[in-house]
Amino acid sequence: MTHAGPSRYDRRTVLQYAGLAGVVGLAGCTTEQSGGEDADAGDAGAEEPAPDVYRIGMVNSLTGSLADFGTYNERGVALALEDVNASGIGGVPLEIIVEDSESLPDAGVSAAQKLVNQDQVPLIIGAVGSGVSTSIYESVIRGTDVVQLSQNSTSASLTEYPGLLRMSPPGGPQVQVLADLIADDGVGSVAVAWVNNDFGQSQRDGFVDAWGGEVAYDSPHDQEQSSYASVVAEMANSGADAWVFLTYQEQTAAMLDDAYSNGYEAAFYGSDSAKGPSVLEGTPAGALEGMKTVEPSAAIDQANYQDFASRFESAYGEAPTSWSSFAYDCVITAALSIATADGFTGAALGGTVRDVTRSPGETVTTFSAAMDVISDGGDADAIDYDGVSGPIDFDANGDPVGSFQVFEVVDDAYVSRGTRTV
């Protein structure tokens, strides 16, 4: 590609902007028209670009090392769509085009490119892995009006992208809670095994900053190594009292399996990503006994969460994870921002997506309650959606507020040990 000639990509981008500008212009017209009292209904109908269906995109980890999260998300999204499409957004149904990120940045970027360029969605829910989310933002979203709302990313690095919103609270406070928890358990020295990417690095940095004791082992490992025996051997030889896993389920399972067959004993701790059914299934019975993890907590004592949880249980036969509730709230937030925006464009949704989640406005906890307020002529500032995952309240950096729940493995099952805040 030379700098002199206009490239094909440039032409396409220009066309896209032209199209977008046209749509925005059109939306502007409509607002102006309906702004004039008693505008002719027939005319307004002809101009209104309200589509038959609102299509938004989602990049999810259907396969790869975060596939557990992909399932959590699918379930949360299914329940949210049920709620939204019971009445629709002003009668128009919401549809979500889901693409797989394979839990990897390059595949995630391709998925997002397809959604933005081909399906032309104005809003993308995505992604799970923090590295995937930031790659999508940097390669696809930045410089466009498209709104990106990550469902599960917890890396501190997302805070540096104010344009990239997320439903799950950042990992900074989370690893701080983890460090406090380990200190409260009377542990003096820790071995920290972290996954060699954005997510692992930021969790490790946050943890080591918050941790007051000794760090006897502090090394990264790659995803999908064929053997973790040397990592485990080094952790054991470091003589640490506690092992902290700032990595994913698959790697945690492989390492704990090795630790068990090598007969190593230590207190195990982990971040949210080191917890999951695949860790229990991937290790011998009893290998995880006493392992404690910290994860962002849903609003477990709120009525809307309890309703969500009971519906979730009857649909899937198990209690929802926080991750499902984040995905649920992503969809509801997206639907509410569509309902309050004056056009189905990225620019219009970008203007409302934060405001529907925070004050001022009447506190609403369900989609239908929010729609009641909106249909009485309310705009984005008229509502403050408190979701099943918590109060949300997006700040200037696109981060929500949150609390954290502690789990402990007892008899090969995760048992809640209450919530903690920073």
Partner 1 sequence: MAVLEYLANGLVFSSIIVLASIGLSLVYSIARFANFAHGDTLTVGAYGAFVGFALIGDVGPTVLGLPGGFYIAVAVGAAVAAVVAVVTQRLVYDALEIGAIGLLITSIGVAFVYRALVILGFGTGSLRYAVPAQRPIPALVPIGVRITTQEVAIIVVATVLVIGLHLLLRFTLLGRMMRATADNADLAQVTGIRTAQITRWTWVIGAGLAGVGGVFLGLYNQVEPRMGFNILLVVFAAVILGGIGSVYGAMIGGFLIGMIDQLTPLLGDLGIPIGTEYSYAIAFVIMVLVLLVRPTGIAGGDPG
Applying CB under 8 A, which residues contact partner 1?
62-64, 67-68, 196, 219-222, 224-231, 233-234, 237, 250, 253-254, 257, 260-264, 278, 281-285, 287
Residue 75 or 354 with smaller CB distance to partner 1: 75
Distance of closest approach, residue 225 Cβ to partner 1, in angstroms: 7
Distance of closest approach, residue 224 Cβ to partner 1, in angstroms: 5
- Tokens 């404690």 correspond to what residue? 292
Residue 264 or 379 with smaller CB distance to partner 1: 264
Residue 250 or 384 with smaller CB distance to partner 1: 250
Instruction: For residue 23, give every residue at least 6 positions away whose Cβ sits within 8 Å of its Cβ, in sequence order, or none.
Output: 49, 343, 345
Residue 209 or 224 with smaller CB distance to partner 1: 224
- Give the bridge partners for 162, in sequence order: none
Distance of closest approach, residue 283 Cβ to partner 1, in angstroms: 8
Give me Rg for the CA atoms of the chain: 23
Q: How far apart are CA 238 and CA 235, in angstroms?
A: 5
Distance of closest approach, residue 278 Cβ to partner 1, in angstroms: 6
Residue 217 identity: Y
Distance of closest approach, residue 268 Cβ to partner 1, in angstroms: 16
Among residues 216, 219, 230, which one has the least CA distance to residue 194?
219
Residue 230 or 368 with smaller CB distance to partner 1: 230
Q: How far apart are CA 246 and CA 266, in angstroms?
A: 16
- Give the bridge partners for 350, in sequence order: none
Residue 207 or 228 with smaller CB distance to partner 1: 228
Q: How far apart are CA 356 and CA 194, in angstroms?
A: 36
Residue 236 or 406 with smaller CB distance to partner 1: 236
Distance of closest approach, residue 102 Cβ to partner 1, in angstroms: 9
Distance of closest approach, residue 237 Cβ to partner 1, in angstroms: 5
Report the half-sphere exposure of 321 (CA within 13 A, side-chain side): 24
